[in-house]
Amino acid sequence: MNIDLVDWASIAADGFPFPEGVPASRLAAELSAMLVSADPEIRDDYAYTGVAQWIKEGHFDEVLQALGDTAATRFSHPEVQARTFAPLVLCSVLTRGNAVPGLVPKEAVERWFARFSTWYLAENRAHAAGTTPWGGCTPSRTAPTLLLRSRRPCLTAAPNCLNCVPAG
């Protein structure tokens, strides 16, 4: 099956069943590219919803680290939507990594944390200076807790990115 033939509107309408016959790597790459789209239907309704669900269900376990690496590089992307979705995708990756010990290597988490830290500090400086080009929105509210906790085990049993990240 050719990835260009994936009908994202139909997949979304059907509740995101995982398409058989399409390699996870190709789906992950397409969804990652769609997360940069300025079109909220493509970015929010198809790409983010699909990637988050399929990560949670384990369909992307074989490409989980690559998804995290791609998300982490987006912290320096020129498009605000790319930077906005980076911590959300990492949230899904880290939550899945916490559910399946050993799936996300500690070295990857450290790499993502370094990129996140640089981004988060720069975004907050820009916000404080009033120089954010998108109307003064602060960086994702989940981002600080998400990656600041990435170096230690879950602090609670809640299965969400604010409380569950891999221990390393």
User: For each of the chain's 168 residues, which pLDDT tens digit applies?
Assistant: 344 568 899 999 999 999 988 999 999 999 999 999 999 999 999 999 999 999 999 999 999 999 999 999 998 888 888 878 888 898 899 889 988 989 999 899 888 888 887 877 767 666 555 555 544 444 444 454 455 444 444 333 333 444 333 333
Distance CA(41)–CA(133), nearest Å, equals 22
Domain membership of residue 153 (yes or no) is no
Secondary structure (H, E, C), the chain: CCHHHCCHHHHHHCCCCCCCCCCHHHHHHHHHHHCCCCCHHHHHHHHHHHHHHHHHCCCCHHHHHHHHHHHHHHHHCCCHHHHHHHHHHHHHHHHHHHHCCCCCCHHHHHHHHHHHHHHHHHHHHHHHHCCCCCCCCCCCCCHHHHHHCCCCCCCCCCCCCCCCCCCC
Domain membership of residue 28 (yes or no) is yes
In this prediction, residue 68 carries a pLDDT of 94
Domain membership of residue 166 (yes or no) is no
Distance CA(122)–CA(110), nearest Å, equals 19
Domain membership of residue 72 (yes or no) is yes
pTM: 0.75
Domain membership of residue 160 (yes or no) is no
Determine the structural domain holding residue 42 and report its residue range.
3-148
Q: Count how many domains the chain has.
A: 1
Distance CA(99)–CA(33), nearest Å, equals 26
Domain membership of residue 154 (yes or no) is no
Angle at 154 between CA 151 and CA 160, to 5 degrees: 110
17: tokens are: 């069943």
In this prediction, residue 159 carries a pLDDT of 39
Domain membership of residue 108 (yes or no) is yes
Domain membership of residue 167 (yes or no) is no
Distance CA(39)–CA(141), nearest Å, equals 22
In this prediction, residue 118 carries a pLDDT of 80
In this prediction, residue 148 carries a pLDDT of 47
